[in-house]
Structure formats: structure tokens, C-alpha cells
């Protein structure tokens, strides 16, 4: 490995990359436990693949905004370090695959040259902040939410409040009441609102809390119809602080915010958040809306391109489904469908070179795994279409029935049960070949996940599938669980899909045909797909699809998954979406010292709030080490604090450990309190280290 000190101007990024390099070396030398190292690399966007010995690297693309230079840099990095492919995700990230662990620091340094990060793209952190891809050009938006999404990204990246949560945490910003960013599936979701006082426009947001997909989808609950723009970051920080302290940390299946809300009650949780706000870093926070400039727009050029007659119908369909007029007069946004979210680096370069003269130097990765091109002049649309057509990127039907969302499934994911990528290609082809009228239908969304965890968002699909399996005639058969009736209603309201029936994976096209055929006949009288589903009822669809699930009619073909040639084998690895809980006392004490070191660094930089929070984590981590040394385990930070008082406070000569630790939410962050709190954390750390030394000698 090489040193990166001279490669980067940002000293913090350089320090983090060097630290990753050191930790990889320590791991290779057996100095860091493999489970602990897993959590370290996940926090840096490095995720173990299904294939042994290689990694997926997730690259954060805040709210999907990416320039020509950045996407070309990622293509260069994928060529040098990965598989010469970019994968666009439903959270507007870009993933690259088959990366050697030892080369990840070098890879990160290359990306950082163009202000691209992999930090906190995985693990128990604030994940990529998403937003409607049309933000800034959406004719229906009250104002552009891009700067607010960017402000959240900057504020919480590397923030001690969100670096090591009990589970991942997600923010999402929709551009309008259409709610195209699905605010209701986020831990905190935002929809822009304006009101007027004395003739002055005041910006704010409708705020929803506790949404999530996964195996148990939850629809976010309303906090308020209007929160002033300057209060959304302080509120969100307070939520994170309460979640960090009281959230589950042992059972990852019960560790999302939604479970804590169920445990303590929604109103009680909001009360806890309000009490926490005294100790937040800021009481109001003005987000700088000037950071999002109008991108560089190409000058108008005389274009004489005409669409050939044999392509005219295809062009008209593309124009009707993939093109819309921006709020900026004279300009159009153009959606590019990217099959399964995958684009080779060779195609990326050809694409950028060809479209550069016709579009603004700012694209957006969409939540349905494509790209949005901006500021296209009307006269340039035919030329742009022909360019995209030559590259195989002109398929119509963006965000329609023919635009199927999918996760990677068994292609690369440890948790994948079935091949969702190939199934999505099959279903898209079916719609184009047999149901061309549905290419214009932007109401019905088909979404596929390779397992129940909903990375492909099947939990909110109008028509959804997730990978599963069952034993039939003594053999394991790949199946899909069919779900119906989910989707966005608008203005923060959403629906979780109902599980209907499980069918052989190879019969998923038959399921889709049956539903679309029935909807053609009966749907018009209901006015919408959701009304159609509600009107006929869940049992109607169970009975409709039941013949497709008949095990008496299975054939040898049903035992072979999509894209495979041999009988299905259910092979699931260890999931890595969350960090791993490490109950090794020595490792915990090492972590405790590291956290105290971070507290001192923050104090030296006069970051009083950060120093205080690192000191808080020092106290909790040290107490956890002591308890585990005694065989006492707790699944929440508040549980650790209370258990230490019960079992160890007297032994450590600590009069009220809970009172000591929870000073954190009783005082405003100040130099005086930071100095006192750090001194208490230092004294406690020394006692923990001394205690550990005594117990090791006894052992």
C-alpha cells in the first residue's frame, strides 16, 4: 500500500484514508478481530460481496447530483480497481464491484480528488441523503430542495452523533406534494411547503418520522405540517441523539427507528426529542441555499438533425414518456432508462462525450436507477434521442410499468435468494412486447427484491416481487412472493403492499400477465390501480393467482432460477447492511481510548458539541467493556448506563453513573461544560483500564 498524504488537499479526508490503510494492515496482521474490522470497513462504504475475497464499494452521491467530471472519475476508478461497470442504486448511490480490500484506500484517494466520498455509505450511520431527482427543475416545486439535501449531507457526514448508531438512518427530500422521493419510507422525510406572513414568503417542510421498508414496512407518521427551514437540522440531530441512546443494538431486526417508536410511543418519543434539544450543537441552522448553482448550460447551436421516418414512432413514444418541460422556460429534462441500473464504463465515456454539447453539466441519479439529463433545448431533443439510441439508452417508458426497479439479488449480494436482475429484464421485455400501451402508464410501479429486505422497494410496489424459496417434491424451488397494493398516495401519504401468494420464480411473467389482463378489463371502472385493488380485495387476487402457484403442475424448469442453467441452490451469506456488535472486552477498551482521542481532537478545534458527544461515547463504551467482562450484556446505551449503576458504580467509586453520563442532555454545549465532561470521561477511562488490568491478572 502507498501513502496518500500528498494526494489530497482536505486534511480530514487524507487522515481518514491513512487510518483505513493502517486498519487494513492491522487486520492482515491479526491485530483487529475480523468482526470488528467488518464494522470498520462498512462505515467506509466497503461491503463484502457474495463472491469471496472481493468487495463492493458504495460511493455516496448526495441527492444523486453528479457532474461529467465526477462520473468519468468513477468510471476510471472502476476500470482500475473494479469490474468496469457502474451500478446506480435506488438511493442514488453508485456501486462498483469486485474490488480488492487492500486497494480500497488508494481507490478512496482517487475519488476524493474530485470531491467524491465513500464514507458512511454503509453501516450504522446516516446513509446517502436522497431527494427527488427533478429538484430544481420541477414545475410543481415550491422551492428547490437540493440545497437542503446537500446541507444534511454536509452536517451529518462525520458527525459524532451519527457515526455509530444502532442501525442505519435515512433522510429523504421530495420536491413537491407528488412525493417522488417517497418521504414516507424514510426515518425522517421532508416535503417542501411555503406560507406567507405579512406578505413575506416563509419556507418550511412537512415532516414525517419513522418510515422504513425492510421485511416489515412502516409508513412514516406526521410530526408537523410545517417546520421552519431553520429548524429541520436541529430537530433531526435531536432525533438521532435519542435514537442513538435508546435504540436497540443487539438484535438488528429490531434496531430501526420504527421499532423504538413502537416501544416508547410516538408522542413520548417526540417529548424525548424536545428535551434533547437543549444539548444539540445548534438551536437554529440556516442552510446555505447558494451552494446549488445553476449548472453550466451549453450555448444554443444550430442543429439540423432529423429523425428518420422508420424511427419516428419510437421517437414520439420516447418524447411522450421520457421528456418533460422544466420550470425554466425553453428547457427540458430527459430521463435515461438504464437497465437494472448497470452501465459499463465504456458506455459511460461514450455517453458523456456525446451528450456534453447538448445538456447541462449536472446529471441526477434517479431513485429508479437511471439518469436525469437537464437543460436540454427543444431543438436539441432529436439529436439527443439519436445519440441515446445509438448507445442503447433510448428505451421509452421512464417510471412506467415498463421501468422495473430491482436490487442486485444473487448477482453480488450476500443476502440474495433469487436472481432479481434477470427477472426485471424479463418483465420489462414482456411489457414492451405484449403490453405496449402500459409503457405510457406511469401510475403502476413494478419493483423486485432478491430477498425480503426490500432494497428493490417491493414493499411499496403496486406490483411487487421478492425472492424466496420452498421445498416441492423433496427439492428446493426458487419462488417469488407476490405483493400488491403499495405505493405513494401523495403529500407524505403512502401504502405498504400486501403479501398475496408465493409462486415459482419462473411463473412471475404469468403473474404479471394475469394482473395486467384483468386490469385492462376491470380497471377503468375503478379509476386507478389502487382503487381497483381496494375495490376487489386481497382475497380476489389470491384466488386470481392461485392456479399459477399450483404445485401439482410444477415442471423441471421451475427448479431453475432466472439466468441459471442448473437446479436452484439456496445459498445465503451473512448480511452486512448493518455494523456488527462486537462483545470483545479488549477491543471495546481500545475503542474507548480511540473515542476519547477524538474528543480531545474536537476540543482542540473548539468543536465543543463534538467533543462532548465523543466524551459521552467514551463513558458508554467504557461501561460496556466493564459489564461484558462480568458477563452482563445490554442491548441499548441507556441499558448499559443503568446496568453499570446497578452492578459496578460502587466498585468504581462512581456516585450515580447515570447522572454523570446524562449530563449530556442537561447543558448547552460550551467550552466550560466540554472541559468538565472530558475530564470526567478521562478519569473514568483510566479506572476502566486499571480495572481491566486487575481482572486480567486474576484470570
Residues 531 and 617 placed together within one structural domain of the fold:
no
First and final C-alpha spacing in the chain: 39
- Contact between 342 and 359 under an 8 Å Cβ cutoff? The reply is no
Phi/psi for 128 (5° steps) reads -55, 130
- CATH number of the domain where residue 175 is located: 3.30.413.10
Can you give the pLDDT at residue 394? 97
Q: Is residue 296 part of a domain?
A: no
Mean pLDDT of 77-97: 96
Q: Do 499 and 437 share a structural domain?
A: yes
As a whole number of angstroms, the distance between CA 689 and CA 686 comes to: 5
Indicate the average pLDDT of the chain: 91
- Given a cut of 70, is residue 126 above it in pLDDT? yes
Using the 3D structure, point to which of 559, 575, 609 is the last residue of a domain: 559
What pLDDT score does 659 carry? Answer: 96
- Alpha helical stretches, state H, 363-486: 381-390, 420-434
Q: How crowded is residue 535: how many other Cβ atoms within 10 Å of its Cβ?
A: 14
Tell whether 69 and 158 lie within a shared domain. Answer: no
Does residue 68 lie in a domain region? yes
Confidence band for 19, pLDDT divided at 50, 70 and 90: confident
CA distance 624 to 613: 16
Q: Which distant-in-sequence residues (6+ apart) come within 8 Å of 612 by Cβ?
A: 279, 599, 664, 669, 673, 674, 677, 678
Residue 107 lies in a domain: yes
How does residue 4 score in pLDDT terms, banded at 50, 70 and 90?
very low
Write the pLDDT tens digit of every residue in 375-406.
Answer: 999 999 999 999 999 999 999 999 999 999 99
Separation of CA 652 from chain center: 42
Segment 52-69 shows an average pLDDT of 93
> Of 457, 464, 508, 505, which Cα lies nearest the Cα of 484?
464
Q: How confident is the model at residue 694 (pLDDT cuts 50, 70, 90)?
A: low
Residue 579's pLDDT band (cuts 50, 70, 90): very low
Asked if residue 143 and residue 58 are part of one domain, the reply reads: no
We report the CATH number of the domain holding residue 39 as: 3.90.480.20
pLDDT of 575 strictly over 70: no
CATH assignment of the domain containing 317: 3.30.70
Instruction: Clarify whether residues 262 and 143 are in a common domain.
Output: yes
CA distance 185 to 171: 9
Statement to judge: residues 175 and 281 lie in one domain: yes
* CA distances from residue 562 to 404, 426, 567 in whole angstroms, order as listed: 16, 9, 11
> pLDDT, tens digit, for every residue of 268-325?
999 999 999 999 999 999 999 999 988 989 888 787 889 999 999 999 999 999 999 9
Q: What is the pLDDT of residue 384?
A: 97
User: Can you tell me the distance from the alpha carbon of 76 to that of 82, in angstroms, rounded to the nearest whole number?
Assistant: 9
Half-sphere exposure of 237 (CA within 13 A, CB side): 28
Highest mean pLDDT among 45-54, 197-206, 468-477, 577-586: 197-206
Task: Tell me if 120 is assigned to some domain.
Answer: no
| Confidence grade of residue 10 (pLDDT, cut at 50, 70, 90) | low
Q: Is 364 helix (H, G, I), strand (E, B) or coil?
A: strand
252 assigned to some structural domain: yes
Residues 478 and 450 in one domain: yes
pLDDT in tens, 533-570: 999 999 999 999 999 999 999 999 999 888 887 776 66
Note the pLDDT of residue 590. Answer: 81
Q: Smallest Cα–Cα separation from 206: which of 226, 220, 188?
A: 226
Note whether 476 and 602 are same-domain residues. Answer: no
SS3 at position 273: helix
Number of folded domains that form the chain: 5
Q: Are strands 331-336 and 371-377 parallel, antiparallel or unpaired?
A: antiparallel
Q: Decide if 397 contacts 433 (C-beta within 8 A).
A: no
From 112, 141, 173, give the residue that closes a domain.
112
Structure confidence at residue 13 (pLDDT)? 67
Please indicate, yes or no, if residue 300 is contained in any of the structural domains: no
- Looking at 362, 390, 418, which one is the last position of a domain? 390
Q: Are residues 84 and 107 in the same domain?
A: yes
What digits encode the pLDDT tens for the residues 409-460? 776 676 667 788 899 999 999 999 999 999 999 999 999 998 888 888 999 9
Nine-digit cell at 352? 458523456
Average pLDDT over residues 79-108: 93
pLDDT given for residue 304 in this prediction? 80
Rounded Cα distance between 172 and 291, Å, is: 19
Q: Is residue 397 part of a domain?
A: no
pLDDT band at 497 (very low <50, low <70, confident <90, very high): very high
Averaged pLDDT for residues 358-387:
96
Q: What's the CATH number where 598 sits?
A: 1.20.120.330
Domain membership flag for residue 485: yes
Residues 6 or more apart whose CB falls under 8 angstroms from that of 644 comprise 623, 626, 627, 654, 657
Containing 501, the helix (H) or strand (E) segment is strand 498-504
Q: Are residues 410 and 484 in the same domain?
A: yes
Which residues lie below 8 Å from residue 436, measured CB to CB, with a gap of 6+? Answer: none
pLDDT higher than threshold 70 for residue 8? no
Predicted pLDDT at 1: 37
Whole-structure pTM value: 0.91
Domain carrying residue 608: 585-698
Looking at the fold, whether 600 and 521 belong to one and the same domain comes out as no
Same domain, 139 and 265: yes
Amino acid at each position: 500500500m502507498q501513502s496518500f498524504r500528498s494526494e489530497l488537499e482536505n486534511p480530514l479526508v487524507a487522515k481518514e484514508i491513512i487510518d483505513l490503510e493502517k486498519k487494513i494492515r492491522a487486520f492482515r496482521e491479526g491485530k483487529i478481530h475480523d468482526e470488528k474490522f467488518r464494522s470498520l470497513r462498512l462505515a467506509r462504504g466497503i461491503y463484502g460481496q457474495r463472491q469471496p475475497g472481493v468487495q463492493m464499494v458504495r460511493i455516496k452521491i448526495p441527492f444523486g447530483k453528479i457532474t461529467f467530471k465526477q462520473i468519468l472519475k468513477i468510471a476510471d476508478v472502476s476500470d482500475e480497481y473494479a469490474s468496469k461497470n457502474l451500478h446506480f442504486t435506488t438511493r442514488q448511490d453508485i456501486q462498483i464491484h469486485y474490488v480488492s480490500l487492500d486497494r480500497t484506500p488508494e481507490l478512496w484517494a482517487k475519488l476524493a480528488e474530485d470531491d467524491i466520498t465513500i464514507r458512511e455509505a454503509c453501516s450504522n450511520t446516516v446513509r446517502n441523503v436522497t431527494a427527488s431527482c427533478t429538484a430544481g427543475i420541477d414545475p410543481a416545486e415550491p422551492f428547490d430542495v437540493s440545497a437542503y439535501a446537500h446541507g444534511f449531507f454536509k452536517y451529518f457526514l462525520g458527525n459524532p452523533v451519527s457515526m455509530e448508531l444502532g442501525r442505519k438512518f435515512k433522510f429523504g427530500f421530495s420536491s413537491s406534494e407528488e412525493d417522488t422521493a417517497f418521504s414516507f419510507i424514510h426515518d425522517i422525510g421532508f416535503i417542501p411547503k411555503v406560507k406567507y406572513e405579512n406578505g413575506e414568503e416563509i419556507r418550511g417542510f412537512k415532516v414525517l418520522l419513522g418510515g422504513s421498508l425492510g421485511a416489515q414496512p412502516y409508513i412514516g407518521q406526521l410530526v408537523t405540517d410545517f417546520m421552519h427551514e431553520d429548524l429541520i437540522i436541529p430537530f433531526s440531530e435531536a432525533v438521532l441523539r435519542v435514537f442513538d441512546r435508546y435504540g436497540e443494538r443487539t438484535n438488528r431486526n429490531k434496531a430501526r427507528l420504527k421499532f423504538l417508536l413502537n416501544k416508547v410511543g410516538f408522542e413520548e418519543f417526540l417529548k424525548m426529542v424536545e428535551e434533547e434539544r437543549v444539548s444539540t450543537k445548534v438551536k437554529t441552522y440556516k442552510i446555505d441555499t447558494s451552494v446549488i448553482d445553476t449548472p453550466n448550460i451549453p450555448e444554443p447551436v444550430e442543429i439540423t438533425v432529423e429523425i428518420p421516418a422508420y424511427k419516428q414512432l419510437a421517437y414520439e413514444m420516447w418524447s411522450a414518456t421520457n421528456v418533460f418541460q422544466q420550470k425554466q422556460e425553453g428547457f427540458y429534462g430527459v430521463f435515461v432508462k438504464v437497465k437494472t441500473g448497470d452501465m459499463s464504463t465504456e458506455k459511460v465515456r461514450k455517453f458523456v462525450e456525446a451528450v456534453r454539447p447538448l445538456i447541462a453539466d449536472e446529471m441526477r441519479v434517479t431513485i429508479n436507477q437511471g439518469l436525469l439529463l437537464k437543460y436540454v433545448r427543444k431543438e436539441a431533443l432529436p439529436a439527443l434521442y439519436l445519440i441515446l439510441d445509438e448507445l442503447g439508452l433510448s428505451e421509452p417508458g421512464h417510471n412506467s410499468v415498463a421501468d422495473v426497479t430491482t436490487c442486485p439479488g444473487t448477482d453480488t449480494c450476500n443476502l440474495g435468494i433469487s436472481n432479481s436482475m434477470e427477472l426485471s429484464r424479463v418483465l420489462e421485455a414482456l411489457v414492451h412486447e405484449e403490453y405496449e400501451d402500459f409503457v405510457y402508464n406511469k401510475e403502476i410501479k413494478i419493483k423486485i427484491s432478491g430477498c425480503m429486505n426490500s432494497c428493490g422497494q417491493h414493499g411499496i410496489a403496486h406490483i411487487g416481487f421478492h425472492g424466496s424459496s420452498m421445498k416441492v417434491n423433496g427439492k428446493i424451488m426458487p419462488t417469488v412472493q407476490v405483493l400488491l397494493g403499495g405505493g405513494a398516495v401523495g403529500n407524505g401519504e403512502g401504502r405498504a403492499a400486501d403479501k398475496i401468494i408465493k409462486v415459482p420464480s419462473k411463473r412471475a411473467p404469468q403473474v404479471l400477465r394475469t394482473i395486467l389482463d384483468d386490469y385492462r378489463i376491470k380497471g377503468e371502472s375503478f379509476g386507478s390501480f389502487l382503487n381497483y385493488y381496494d375495490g376487489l380485495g386481497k382475497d380476489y387476487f389470491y384466488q386470481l393467482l392461485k392456479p399459477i402457484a399450483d404445485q401439482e403442475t410444477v415442471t423441471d424448469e421451475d427448479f431453475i432460477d432466472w439466468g441459471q442453467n442448473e437446479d436452484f441452490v439456496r445459498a445465503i451469506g451473512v448480511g452486512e447492511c448493518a455494523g456488527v456488535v462486537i462483545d470483545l472486552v479488549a477491543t471495546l477498551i481500545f475503542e474507548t481510548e480511540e473515542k476519547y482521542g477524538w474528543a480531545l481532537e474536537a476540543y482542540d478545534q473548539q468543536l465543543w458539541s463534538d467533543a462532548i458527544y465523543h466524551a459521552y461515547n467514551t463513558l458508554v463504551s467504557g461501561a460496556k467493556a466493564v459489564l461484558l467482562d462480568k458477563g452482563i450484556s445490554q442491548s441499548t446505551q441507556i441499558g448499559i448506563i443503568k446496568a453499570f449503576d446497578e452492578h459496578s458504580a460502587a466498585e468504581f467509586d462512581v456516585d450515580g453513573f447515570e447522572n454523570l453520563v446524562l449530563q449530556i442532555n442537561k447543558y448547552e454545549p460550551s467550552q466550560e461544560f466540554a472541559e468538565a465532561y472530558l475530564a470526567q470521561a478521562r478519569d473514568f477511562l483510566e479506572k476502566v483500564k486499571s480495572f481491566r488490568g486487575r481482572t486480567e491478572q486474576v484470570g
